[in-house]
Amino acid sequence: MVSGFLILLTAISFNGLGFSGPKTIPPAFRHGHRGARVVALSFDDGPHRRITPDIIRTLEDKDCRATFFLLGREVRKNPETVRALAESPRCEIGNHSINHPDFGRLGKEQALQEIMENQWLIERVSGVIPRLFRPPYGSVGRGLFAASRQAGVSIVLWDVDPEDWRGGKLSASEIAERVRPGSIILLHDIYPGTAEMLPELIDELRERGFEFWFVSELINFRRFAEAADALLSNLGFAGAGGY
Ligand SMILES: [Zn+2]
């Protein structure tokens, strides 16, 4: 019993450091655990004065949820929308930097400043301290990895990109077709077409048997499942995870 517990602790701490056997916790998450039929909707570059409240209404009408990666320069313009996000149980707030730089080109100190300034801004406006960070363009580098550890945020990317910024007509069924268990979908709450398509996308995914989770829930579940899998394989149950 005690030794099992020690192995579990070892598995978890080794996972955290990235040393565990075949499956390691990555420095940036593109998706959650593949073994559960869950999906996360994520919205970047807001808050937008009109479109973000539209999307919050859709989430409430549909009893759905989503994670919003807020841009500091938009937070300054729309503090009341940030408070609406913070107050809604359907919404989770993440950090998307202040000025939308390319983090692949930033050193640790510059990266840390972009992250922390937005952390403080979002906290001052809404009382929420984000635990997730999404780098603009999905661009990552050593400076960002070091800064994110110091800031205490997990780096989140995506595995489904409908490219809603192109402005063409979005097909909800085509997007849903590309979603796998544990997927994170990248959208933007600054385009009217995205808000218009959202109700249909939610319906399409539900018809395919998906449940909607916050990005943080996907990540926490994956961490837990991979730690459990490492424990089982340490105990000699090979291939118990199945993902
Ligand atoms: Zn962005």
pLDDT (tens digit per residue) in 178-203 = 999 999 999 999 999 999 999 999 99
Q: How far is the CA of 93 from the centre of ligand 1 (A)?
A: 14
* Residue 226 domain-assigned (yes or no): no
Which positions are catalytic?
A: 44, 188
For residue 27, the model assigns a pLDDT of 85
Checking if the pLDDT of 42 tops 60, the result is yes
* Residue 18 domain-assigned (yes or no): no
* Residue 193 domain-assigned (yes or no): yes
pLDDT band for 243, please (50, 70, 90 cuts). Answer: very low
How big, in percent rounded to 5, are the helix, strand and coil portions of the chain? 50, 15, 35
Copy the structure tokens of residue 92: 């989770």
Contact present, 12 and 199 (Cβ < 8 Å): no
Mean pLDDT on 8-20: 43
- Give the H or E element holding residue 183: none
CATH code of residue 151? 3.20.20.370
Q: Residue 12 to residues 117, 124, 139, 225, 240: CA-CA distances in angstroms?
A: 31, 34, 28, 10, 16
Q: How far is the CA of 136 from the centre of ligand 1 (A)?
A: 4
pLDDT band for 238, please (50, 70, 90 cuts). Answer: low
Mean pLDDT on 145-170: 95
Checking if the pLDDT of 29 tops 80, the result is yes
CA atoms within 13 A on the CB side of 49: 4
* Residue 225 domain-assigned (yes or no): no
**Mean pLDDT, the chain, whole residue set:** 90
Checking if the pLDDT of 242 tops 60, the result is no
* Residue 157 domain-assigned (yes or no): yes
Q: How far is the CA of 108 from the centre of ligand 1 (A)?
A: 20
Q: How far is the CA of 158 from the centre of ligand 1 (A)?
A: 12
Domain hosting 188: range is: 26-214
Mean pLDDT on 50-65: 98
For residue 236, the model assigns a pLDDT of 85
Percent of the chain with pLDDT over 70: 87
Q: How far is the CA of 42 from the centre of ligand 1 (A)?
A: 11
Checking if the pLDDT of 15 tops 60, the result is no
Q: How far is the CA of 45 from the centre of ligand 1 (A)?
A: 5
Q: What is the pLDDT of residues 197-217, one digit of tens each?
A: 999 999 999 999 999 999 999
Checking if the pLDDT of 58 tops 50, the result is yes
Q: How far is the CA of 107 from the centre of ligand 1 (A)?
A: 19
Percent of the chain with pLDDT over 90: 81
Copy the structure tokens of residue 46: 């807001």
Q: How many domains is the chain built from?
A: 1
Contact present, 95 and 132 (Cβ < 8 Å): yes
- Top pLDDT among 75 and 19 is at 75
